[in-house]
Amino acid sequence: MSQARDHHHGHRTNRQPTRRPDPASWAASLDQSRCGAYIAVVVTAVTTSLVALLVFLGDAGMSWLPLLAVGPALAAATCRPWGVLRIGILATGLGAVLGTQTGEPLHQLAVTLAALSAVTLASALASLLRGRRERVLAAVRSVAETAQNALLRPVPATVGPFQVAVRYSAAAAEARIGGDLYALVPTPYGVRLIVGDVRGKGLPAVGTTALVLGVFREAAYDEPDLLDVVERIERSLTRNLGPDDFVTAVVAGYPEPGRMEIVNCGHAPPLLVSGSTAVTAIEPTHPAPPLGLRSLVVRRPSLQVLPFADGDQLLLYTDGVTEARDCGRAFYPLAERVVRHACDEPSRTLAALHDDLLAHVGGRLHDDAALLLLRKPAAADPAAAPPMAAEAP
């Protein structure tokens, strides 16, 4: 059962060291290559032995010899070109020996050996092309991982007065980046964050993600008013997006103790977790359109202010979470499951929610899913950490 690629950001600093290849990953890749080569050799040996037995004991004689081509054909999927050639030469040589010992006509034996040689050469070429494609795919995945580190930067376990955790899963099994976005930055005006969902998939969605996050990180540090941050993003999207493109997003800020500001632009409402049992969906008082569609309506987004006390938590997410369905087509009950899994450690809470979400859908997500959880620890809370200094984006 295939699972979505999960990116879990734990406690890290903003400045990341240069990434090096993971020895465990290289070892796993090498083990898989060796395993494939061993399988090819074993199957070749079994096939060769079976053909030899049929040639000597059966009445069909040469009619069984073409089965020797199974060896190089299978090796093309698992071995390197030289390995394919060695297996093919072995099969061709064995065919020549068997054909000579059974006294088959020379022209028929020549045709069979020519067919084995042709299959061997074609299999070696296929192995060569497969190796080139694998190297290209590895390079593309490396670029994708670099893009992920540049766009969806790792989030520290503590930012300002908050404990923070993030879970991001792309629906595609090999994807590093989907259409969801998030960012959290300390600024002179308090901690500010965004969680959003870009319409569409693929490279256009990645480009829009880069645009939104770049404008947000700059505007969040420059603009005193949270609504002006949203307005900066809106103006940039209006200039750069097509008429049918848009981004749903929630932008939030914590300008002073006990005060949380939220601007919702067509996105799923955040969940406020008070204590361990009370979960409230923060519905917008004046619904606003998604970012990029402001020209279609007159109303501007409104700023909601809500109290945010010690011990409170705020969960922001994308529709890939709430619209995930089980085998009975039932949506994932996020608010109910938050109550079940909420604890004093955001990373543990999101880990439990993520596992529960995968169990709900049967192991594979069909849309990108992002979760970002903030918790305001009490002053006496052992988990509380000293505030992180604000840094320029």
Which residues neighbour 3 within 8 Å (Cβ) at sequence distance 6 or greater?
173, 358, 363, 364
Bridge partner list, 247: 198, 291
Q: What are phi and psi of 221, to 5 degrees?
A: -85, -25
Supply the DSSP symbol for 331. Answer: B
Q: Which pLDDT belongs to residue 275?
A: 72
Cα–Cα dist 146/368, whole Å: 19
Q: Which pLDDT belongs to residue 55?
A: 65
Query: Among 173, 174, 181, which residue's Cα sits nearest to residue 200?
Result: 181
> Position 6: which residue type?
D
Strands (E), 113-228: 158-159, 162-170, 180-187, 190-198
Consecutive H or E run containing 16: none
Per-residue pLDDT of the chain (393 residues; tens, 9 = 90+): 444 444 454 443 333 333 344 443 434 444 555 565 566 667 666 766 776 676 666 555 566 777 778 778 878 887 888 888 888 888 888 778 877 776 767 877 888 888 889 988 998 999 899 889 888 877 776 766 666 667 778 888 999 999 999 998 876 544 555 678 999 999 999 999 999 999 877 677 788 888 999 999 999 999 999 999 999 999 999 888 877 889 999 999 999 999 999 999 999 999 999 876 789 999 998 888 999 887 777 677 889 999 999 999 999 999 989 988 888 889 999 999 998 998 989 999 999 999 999 999 888 887 788 999 999 997 656 555 444 444 444
Query: Among 101, 318, 68, 332, which residue's Cα sits nearest to residue 198?
Result: 318
Cα–Cα dist 384/380, whole Å: 7
Query: Number of C-alpha atoms within 13 angstroms, CB side, residue 286?
Result: 10
The domain made up of 152-376 is a member of CATH 3.60.40.10? yes
CB 316 within 8 A of CB 239: no
How much is the pTM? 0.67
- Strands 304-307 vs 278-281: parallel, antiparallel or unpaired: unpaired
3-state secondary structure of 295: helix
Query: Among 281, 244, 251, which residue's Cα sits nearest to residue 266?
Result: 251
Q: Which pLDDT belongs to residue 108?
A: 79
CB 108 within 8 A of CB 116: no
Q: Which pLDDT belongs to residue 185?
A: 93
Q: Domain boundaries in the chain?
A: 32-145, 152-376
CA distance readout (Å), 323 to 107, 366, 392: 67, 9, 36
> Position 57: which residue type?
L
SS3 content of the chain, % helix, strand, coil (to 5): 45, 20, 35
Show contacts of 322-331: CB within 8 Å, 24+ apart: 322/268, 323/367, 324/357, 324/360, 324/361, 324/365, 324/366, 324/367, 324/369, 325/361, 326/360, 326/361, 326/362, 327/362
Q: Which pLDDT belongs to residue 19?
A: 39
CB 331 within 8 A of CB 325: yes
Query: Among 181, 153, 165, which residue's Cα sits nearest to residue 341?
Result: 165
284: left (phi over 0), alpha (psi -120 to 50) or beta: beta
| Environment class of 234 (CB within 10 Å of its CB; exposed 0-12, middle 13-18, buried 19+) | buried
Q: Which pLDDT belongs to residue 17?
A: 38
